[in-house]
Amino acid sequence: RLPHATAWVSCGDVETVVEAIRSLRVRGAPAIGIAGAYGLAVAAGEAVRGGLAADAARAHVLARAEELATARPTAVNLRWAVERCGDGVDRVPTGTSARDLSAAIHAEALAIHEEDRKLCEAIGRHGAAVVPEGDVLTHCNTGALATGGEGTAIAVIVELWRRGRRFKVFADETRPLFQGSRLTAWELVQRGIPVTLLCASAAAHLLATGRVAACVVGADRIAANGDTANKIGTYGLAILAEAHGVPFFVAAPSSTFDLALDTGGDIPIEERSAAEVLRPAGVPVAPEGARAFNPAFDVTPARLIRGIVTEHGVIAPVTREEIRRVIAPRS
């Protein structure tokens, strides 16, 4: 409902969690990972309420895990978090009661949430060391509404502001779902950081006129070679940044890397309903009979990315070797 109203959705069963993820009531790669982890705890709660015996409770939770992990296909954080909680289930001794299983999964979900909060701070610190002075352009929403903490790209912006640097943030409105205008602008206004919205089609002119010192965006999945899937429009923005000599940074936690994928060509891209384009917020903007192409993400090739800011430091240059050096030892 943002930016006009805030509504809290309480999810008491797995269907409601899956629907909340699919309909973007909760969205942003790290946040859907956290929601997926809590979703598995909700599945364990279903087993407790249903009075399931130990083995049946375990089977119920593991069956629900796949539904949660596949609620959206592109952000790998979702599968990562659900599988991490699922591995926790495997470690619990057989015969553990549904109630104890539920407590173990809940503890793992809380740990994932708390780790994400902390790593957002680390991303903010590492990013603040590399982003040059001047105004910043961002895309989609990568802040507190997308993570367990202050965000990824937004955490960098918040950290720079906290350190006393003064600048303005240009935010792409991010059609068709307007995460930039509804969410990023809302978060920045709350924090008192100046934000100027633009249609993505205005970005070329903005960059050509030298008004942006750096672009900083988030990510939904990063392949082993550094190719990065993020909100649709990110790839175009990276090409524009390259054409105008503006450094383009990605900020993402290690849980967003999928080192099993060789290149970005292997990343599944979610296609969403035509209605999101044809009737934004329920308002028709096209004639009956028109169709729509609505991929939710695109892939930016590694060569267009100046650096990837992670909780472990900045990967630059963005090469397989650097990614392995920074990410692989800890994953």
Kindly list the catalytic residues.
220
Say if CB 219 and CB 230 are below 8 A apart.
yes
Instruction: Report how far apart, in Å, the C-alpha atoms of 179 and of each of 172, 203, 289 are.
Output: 9, 16, 27
Minimal distance, residue 193 CB to ligand MRU, in Å: 17
Question: Quick one: DSSP state of residue 182?
Answer: I
Binding site for ligand MRU (CB under 6 A): 24, 27-30, 75, 140, 142, 146-147, 151-152, 179, 218-220, 230-231, 296
Half-sphere exposure of 154 (CA within 13 A, CB side): 29
**Closest residue to ligand MRU, Cβ-based?**
218
Q: Which is nearer to ligand MRU, 34 or 47 (by Cβ)?
A: 34
Pairwise CA distance, residues 30 & 149, whole Å:
9
In this structure, which long-range contacts are made by residues 177-180, counting pairs with CB atoms below 8 Å and at least 24 apart in sequence?
Answer: 177/24, 177/276, 177/280, 178/280, 179/27, 179/140, 179/141, 179/231, 180/138, 180/139, 180/140, 180/141
Q: Which is nearer to ligand MRU, 33 or 313 (by Cβ)?
A: 33
Minimal distance, residue 29 CB to ligand MRU, in Å: 4
Q: Which is nearer to ligand MRU, 101 or 119 (by Cβ)?
A: 119
Minimal distance, residue 138 CB to ligand MRU, in Å: 9
Total number of residues shown for the chain: 331
Minimal distance, residue 77 CB to ligand MRU, in Å: 8
Q: Which is nearer to ligand MRU, 102 or 300 (by Cβ)?
A: 300
